[in-house]
Amino acid sequence: MLSGPPTGDELFPPFEGFPKEGISFLQKLKRNNNRPWFQKHKEEYEQLVKFPMQCLIASLARKLADDAPEILFNARKSIFRIYRDVRFSKNKAPYKTNIAASFDFRGKKSPTETPGLYLGIEPGAIFTGGGLYMPSGDQLKAIRRSIADNPDEFLDIVRNRAFKRTFGEVMGEKLQKAPLGYPKDHAMIGFLRHKQFYVGMESGHEPCLRPGFADTVAQVFRDAMPFVRWLMRTTSAR
């Protein structure tokens, strides 16, 4: 029998793994991405997809209370809405076919995106990581200036053993040429050419079916935090 989400201030129970039926629901939604079908099966989404994600977030909040106290893990507010914004998209499918959440610094309000942590789950794929996916022009300038002016601080983070083991390198799109104001032979040019600054781990969806997935995500987030904190310091000091 399906168990519904808690009500009021009742705590979400410990994460026990996503049910296979939740992954199956997302697969079915991909084939039936329309309002009549979703409305008919909305309760399944709430119980098989959204509720397990809320339990996972609540578990992460407890596991990372000491290691990332400045990050807000809110089981009710951190999850992205299932509804797509189709106003400016050629793809008019009304629903997302994944479940995802972002975790931001407490109390940080900004008209632009701010650094944080991210988790996305869909049939066949999981992405767990953090950083700054769509930095503004001013944020990019601040990041590049910090890398150029204080390279050792940045390199200490991205060459750290835990960072290298978990992520390998900084991810994201890069400019074809050196950014304006920096010579093409700059010692840090490989990083200065980045247009995005994020890190992450990718896998199939199978790990999320196990209770230990919460521990795996928590450890990835721990390994990402030095990089995420550096981005926050850098972009907040403009």
pLDDT in tens, 185-224: 999 999 999 999 999 999 999 999 999 999 999 999 999 9
Query: Does the residue 2 lie in any domain?
Result: no
Rounded average pLDDT over 70-90? 92
Rounded average pLDDT over 113-142? 96
Q: What is the CATH number of the domain that holds 88?
A: 3.30.930
> Is pLDDT of 123 > 50?
yes
Which of 18-50 are b and which e, b meaning 16 or more Cβ less than 10 Å from the residue's Cβ? Answer: bbeebbebbebbeeebeeeebeeeeebbebbbb
> Is pLDDT of 235 > 90?
yes
Higher pLDDT, 231 or 107: 231
Rounded average pLDDT over 16-33? 97
- By residue range, what is the domain housing residue 170? 20-236
> Is pLDDT of 238 > 80?
no
Number of structural domains in the chain: 1
> Is pLDDT of 133 > 90?
yes
Share of the chain above pLDDT 70, in %: 93
Query: Does the residue 1 lie in any domain?
Result: no
